[in-house]
Amino acid sequence: MDPIIREIYDAILAGHNKVVEAKVPAALSAGLAPQQILEEGMIAAMAEVGRLFEQGEYFVPEMLIAARAMQAGLALLKPSLKAGNVLSAGRVAIGSVQGDLHDIGKNLVAMMLEGAGFEVLDLGTNVSPAKFVAAVKEKGAGIVALSALLTTTMSGMKTTIDALVQAGVRGRIKVMVGGAPITETFARQIGADGYAPDASRAVALARSLLAV
Ligand code: B12
């Protein structure tokens, strides 16, 4: 691993915001690709945080400070991840489903979609089905993107899709889903139009959903 990327990785694990804030720009100035910094330094660190949590070595406070360090790094990486796209490729309403407070992955997907020229309405975390429906009816979203990180909140995706059907708008929009516990099979079972395992494939998915 590149030494600067290693420092970013270690700083996220330790929750050292200041180090992350110093090293992300340093990595960019050293000519490292934003995608590499993101994947090897930042996403890999969060995966390790998850592993340590599972093993009982990290607890919620450690997860939280690591997440804050990750968010600090992401904010600095954001301008480099966005390509200078100006035309709107479509309007996407994105949010973490009801009961779910995880937003790092959702934010990354939102960022990459923006970078690819989509207009993104970020509804935040713990988003009720009614809020997604309102984003379609009142804001004209053509894609609804649902994120869930907990096995206990996955069912909120189905509830949201049901609410879109109930509201009579399901036919004119596409629904895409993602998050660590989500699979292609689950997406199909709940009647979503597509699933992507990461942010860059989410962009390809959004494009293909609007192309058909
Ligand atoms: C950071 C973190 C937290 C932080 C969240 C901070 C924040 N602002 O997001 C805090 C501390 C708040 C937290 C709380 C909890 N957490 Co937590 N958390 C994590 C951790 C370590 C990392 C998640 C993360 O950010 N990953 C990095 C991002 C980049 O990856 P990602 O989210 O998967 O997103 C990518 C893809 O999934 C995809 N994607 C994501 N969304 C979408 C949407 C669409 C439409 C598409 C197409 C793609 C897509 O693209 C993204 C980018 O590539 C995970 C462990 C893990 N390995 O996932 C546990 C984890 C998700 N948490 C877990 C748990 C148990 C909890 C708590 C219940 C703990 C507790 N006892 O309180 C609470 C629940 C709070 C709630 N109601 O939501 C468990 C879930 C277990 C389960 N099977 O349900 C995990 C798996 C940890 C573990 N190994 O046990 N957590």
Q: Which two tokens stand for residue 133?
A: 């429906």
Q: What is the pLDDT of residues 32-91, one digit of tens each?
A: 999 899 989 998 998 899 899 989 999 989 988 998 999 999 999 988 876 544 446 689
Does the pTM of the predicted model rise above 0.85? yes
Mean of per-residue pLDDT scores for the chain = 92
For residue 117, pLDDT beyond 80: no
Distance from Cα 96 to the centre of ligand 1, integer Å: 10
Share of the chain above pLDDT 70, in %: 95
Distance from Cα 74 to the centre of ligand 1, integer Å: 16
Q: What is the pLDDT of residues 119-155, one digit of tens each?
A: 899 999 999 999 999 999 999 999 999 999 999 999 9
For residue 31, pLDDT beyond 90: yes
Ligand 1 atom, smallest distance to 148 CA: 41
101 lines ligand 1 (CB under 6 A): yes
Please compute, for residue 116, the number of CA atoms within 13 A of its CA located in the half-sphere on the CB side.
22
Give the relative orientation of helices 104-115 and 199-211 as an angle to the nearest 10 degrees: 50
